[in-house]
Each structure stands twice: as C-alpha cells, then as structure tokens.
Amino acid sequence: MKNSKKTKKGLIVGFFFAALFAGLFSSCEKAVAAKEDPESMKVYGESEAEMTAPPFVPRPVGKRAATKLIVNMEVIEKEMEMSDGVTYVYWTFDGTVPGSFIRTRVGDEIEFHFKNHPDSKLPHNIDLHAVTGPGGGAESSFVAPGHESVFTFKTMNPGLYVYHCATAPVGMHIANGMYGLILVEPEGGLPPVDKEYYVMQGDFYTEGENGERGLQAFSMEKAVNEDADYVVFNGKVGGLTGDNALTAKVGETVRLYVGNGGPNLVSSFHVIGEIFDKVYVEGGAMINENVQTTLIPAGGAAIVEFKVEVPGNLVLVDHSIFRAFNKGALGILKVEGEENPKVFGGKIEEKVYNPGTSVSGVTEEATEGGLSAEMSMAEKMERGKQVYTQNCLACHQATGAGIPNAFPPLASSDYLNKDVHRAIEVVKFGLTGEIQVNGNVYNSAMPKQNISDEDVAAVLTYVYNNWGNNKSEVTQEMVKKVK
C-alpha cells in the first residue's frame, strides 16, 4: 500500500516536471512511451522459470523487472488414472494434465527449451497463445522423440493464456491432455491475494463408456462427434476432490486461474456457494464484478477472484450440469474457519409443509365418489405392495424395519397393532410430533399420503399382514369412516 502511494506521488511529480519542461525535454515523452511498449522493454539478468504442477502456481512476479526467462518443459507420454479403475495413456507437458503453470511478466524474453522424452511415440510441439508469432511457436518447437528444440519470444500482452500441442492430428493431441496455462502478469504484477490455484477443464473420449474399467483407448469417433465420456478438472475424475481438494481459510481472497483445454466443450464455470467478486474476462484486462457463472471457451481462460466469508465446501463445477454429475466436472474448495451467521445463517428450522391440496387433484376426486368394489384379500396384498413401494418404502424400508431415530418400524409394531383406526388416520392425514414405537421415541413428521381410500385399505392390509403384525384386514369402509 505504502509503495503504491509512493509510486503515485512519484508519478505526479514526474508529470509536473514533464509538463513544466515539455518544451525543453522532448525526450521525456519518448521515454514514457518506450516504457509502455513491451517490445522495447529492456530485460535485466537471466533466470530459470519456476514451474509448478497443478493445482499450484509459481510465485508472483511482483515488482521485478522484465528478464530473460529460461523455461524448461518436457513432453511425457504415460499411463495415468482417469477415474477409479480406469486408466488412459495421457500425452503431457511435464507429466501432468494440465501441464506445468508458466508465470512470466510482460516484456520478458522467454527462451523456451522444449524436450520430447525418448520414450515418446510421437513428435510434439507447443502453441502458446501468449506468443505473438507464427503458430504461437508451434513450428519452431516441433520436436521428435528424444530431441530438444529451443525457441524464443517476448511476452507482448499481459493476460492468462492457454498453451497446447498443435501437432497433427491436433485434436487428438489435445484430447490426450496436451494443454496448460501461461500467465503474463502486467508490469508490477497482479494485486496480491491470499491463495492462488490452477484449475483446468478438459474433455476425454474413451473406447469404453464412462466408468468402464481398465486401460481405455482414445475414441476418435466420439471425439469427432463431441460425445465426451469424461469432463474433468485437472486431468481426471477426482482431480480436485478428496485429498486433492483446494483449501482456504475464512476471510481469505482466493484467485483461481481457470483454463479450458477442450478439445471440444465450452465450460460454464461456476463455484457453488460463491459469487466471483472479480472476473478477468477471458483472461484479459477487462474486469467484471459480481459474476455467478463465467463462460470459458475451449482454448481460453479466465481469472476469477472471490473472498471466502464462511466455512464449508465450495463446489467447482461446469454448470452444464450433467457434466458435473455424470462425467466428473466437480472440484472442492474446502474453506475452514469460524461460522459467520451474519453472512450465512444456515438452517434454523425445518417443518412440515401441508397446503391441504393435491397438485394432481386426481386422487382427491376419486375419494369423493362412493366406494368402488372391495378388493379380495389377494388383490389387496398385491395392490398394497405396489402402493407401499411407491409411497412408504423410502422411509420405512422394504422390510418395514424403518430407520433408527428417524422413521419408526412397521414390522412387529406395537403402535400399529394397538389401533387400526389410528393407523388409517396417520396414512390419510399425516402425523407430526412425538410417538413411541416398540419402546423407542420418534419425533419427526409423516406427510399426508395423497392416495385413494382403496389404496389406503390395500397398503395397510399389506402392512398388517406382513412382518409379524396382527393380520388385520382394512376395508374401504373403515378408511372412509376415518375423518
């Protein structure tokens, strides 16, 4: 903070002098312009770039001057896990998907050492979207297995950029995991934050369907049809969950560098339970505020920032939501710290909601009319089982055992066997409050069941004639009487 004030002061003084002596020192203007043009930015010294595997990023550039930056990167083709019991031969930059995060600043001169491991089957290259020049470096970096190519470029535009392999057939190289992010920070660096992470989405196409075990081959057909089996963050299902979950503490500001390698799908990137305070739209200089979901194109990126105010698990998703639930596009940011009820009160009450009407209305009408013909015992048992399965089983379970402390048992139930009419009442009108069943106290709520009198008779008959109950038969007449 202090520093920036100083700089401001310095600038003002500078402008003052510039204005005063504009006529005398015309070169001053030139000097200012030169400073803004990355092409003519001077570089100081030489250093090797810190490279990090996802989800981590190298240290910020801070206030360092432009420099000559040596980047070393190696292509490795190797089998890794895609999902539980499912493996895939990934083609990688530095052995991870996405590849290592490269962090530079505007005006840096990059000397890129691009190596292809001798065990590789194929030649590879790298197209960095941060490069101003033919193919983003693709031609210059093209390298056979067991060889290294070196090329140079200057970072001209600040922003967050995707890099990827562009060797024919390009789609397959990307589909096998050959992408990553390179950040070009503006002069003076991005504003500091508490936590920074590297997240990249990708879609995968396998011969077997999602979840089919074993080593899965790339399916060209599915890739061409854009029919992805897996859509994941950081290279695999669970790449950002469990032990791989991201972490932060309440009160911290988190910055995510989010890329999308594709090859095909566009990401509707969203963090469940947060609002992005800032989005560097498409990874560029424009900042949008208060964003729920930001679109990240294949071969594109965005920087999102948010302060985490309350503890809990925030869920990173591609809000094209079937991808999240069925194809793996899920990640967790675990936030630890003190609850903050001012921001989020949490659940303070839960109660029964019973508007007394039926949405479908059909069953209500059915009960209005007279009695339909009474079913035989066998028919009741059969119908009763169906009704039970549809309406009761979820809570009271298939064996009538219920769930301890939540849903009382129907099997050998003293509560049922003592009073058939009470049982009919419960089914017809619901029950809330404390009851005792077989010596245990239950205090929960059973909603009114919107089923016909005939069905009430059937289901209760089914229950009474099963699981050690007293074999009562319930008739429509009995049900109708209970009001």
Partner 1 sequence: MKTLIRLAVCIAVMIQSQAYSQSGSMVEVKGGEFIPLYGTKTEVPVGDFLMDVYPVTNAEFQQFVESNPRWRKSQVKKLFADDNYLRNWKDDLSLGEGMLPNSPVTNVSWYAAKNYCECQGKRLPTVDEWEYVAMANEKQPDARTEKTYNQFILSWYETPDTYKKTIGNTFKNYWGVYDLHGLVWEWTSDFNSVMIGGESRKDSTGDNNLFCGAAAVGATDLMNYAAFMRYAFRGSMKAQYSVKNLGFRCVQDVEKSEL
Residue 124 labeled ligand binder: yes
User: What is the nearest approach in angstroms of partner 1 to the Cβ of residue 238?
Assistant: 22
One of 58, 70, 195, 218 touching partner 1 (CB under 8 A):
218
Q: Among 406, 405, 454, which Cα is nearest to 427's?
A: 454
Our CB check for partner 1 shows the closer of 95 and 145 to be: 145
Pairwise CA distance, residues 419 & 352, whole Å: 24
CB of 226 to partner 1, least distance (A): 15
Q: From the list 58, 135, 189, 208, which residue makes contact with partner 1 (rule: CB under 8 A)?
A: 135
Which residue in the set 138, 279, 410, 416 belongs to the binding site for partner 1 (CB under 8 A)? Answer: 138
**Residue range at the interface with partner 1 (CB under 8 A); choices 7-15, 142-150, 193-201, 392-400:** 142-150
CB proximity list for 104: less than 8 A, separation 6 or greater: 49, 61, 69, 110, 130, 155, 182, 183, 184, 185
Give whichever of 143 and 456 is closer to partner 1, judged by the CB atom: 143
Q: Does 144 bind partner 1 (CB under 8 A)?
A: yes
| Residue 74 tokens, joined | 């190696």
Consult the annotation and say whether 129 binds a ligand: yes
Is 373:383 a contact under the CB 8 Å cutoff?
A: no
Q: Is 221 exposed, middle or buried (0-12, 13-18, 19+ CB in 10 A)?
A: exposed
Span 150-209, contacts to partner 1 by CB under 8 A: 166-172, 176, 207
Pick from 64, 68, 78, 480 the residue near partner 1 by CB under 8 A: 78
Render 360-374 in DSSP notation, one character per residue. S-HHHHHHHS-PPPP
- Which H/E stretch holds residue 334? strand 330-336
CA–CA distances in Å: residue 421 to residues 371, 392, 403, 448:
18, 18, 24, 15
Q: Are 12 and 60 in contact (CB under 8 A)?
A: no
- What distance in Å separates the CA atoms of residue 174 and residue 365, rounded to the nearest whole number? 60
Pick between residue 207 and residue 277 the one whose CB is nearest to partner 1: 207
**Residue 336 touches partner 1, criterion: CB under 8 A:** no
Measured from the CB atom, the residue of 79 and 414 that comes closer to partner 1 is 79
217 binds partner 1 (CB under 8 A): yes
Beta carbon nearer to partner 1, 138 or 423 = 138
Amino acid at 363: T
Contact yes or no for 97/78 (Cβ under 8 A): no
Q: Is 133 in the site for partner 1 (CB under 8 A)?
A: no
Is residue 145 near partner 1 by the rule CB under 8 A?
A: yes
Which segment (74-82, 155-163, 256-264, 266-274) binds partner 1 by CB under 8 A? 74-82
> Which residue among 89, 295, 437, 482 contacts partner 1 (CB under 8 A)?
89
Q: Which of 131, 109, 128 is nearest to 46 (CA)?
A: 109
Q: Does 139 bind partner 1 (CB under 8 A)?
A: yes
Element (H, E) at 140: helix 138-141
Distance CA 99, CA 162 (A): 10
The Cα diameter of the chain in Å comes to 111
Query: Measured between alpha carbons, how far is 320 from 475 in angstroms, rounded to an integer?
Result: 50
SS3 179: strand
Query: Is 224 among the residues that bind partner 1 (CB under 8 A)?
Result: yes
CB of 112 vs partner 1, minimal distance in Å: 13
Q: What is the CA radius of gyration of the chain?
A: 33
Residue 313 beta carbon to partner 1: minimum distance, rounded to whole angstroms: 36
> Taking CB under 8 A as the criterion, which residues in 108-127 touch partner 1?
118-123, 125, 127
Please tell me whether 319 is known to bind a ligand.
Answer: yes
Which of 167, 413 has the CB closer to partner 1? Answer: 167
Binding-site residues for Cu cation: 124, 129, 164-165, 173, 178, 319
What are the residues binding partner 1 (CB under 8 A)? Answer: 77-79, 89, 118-123, 125, 127, 134-135, 138-147, 166-172, 176, 207, 217-218, 220-221, 224
Binding-site residues: 124, 129, 164-165, 173, 178, 319
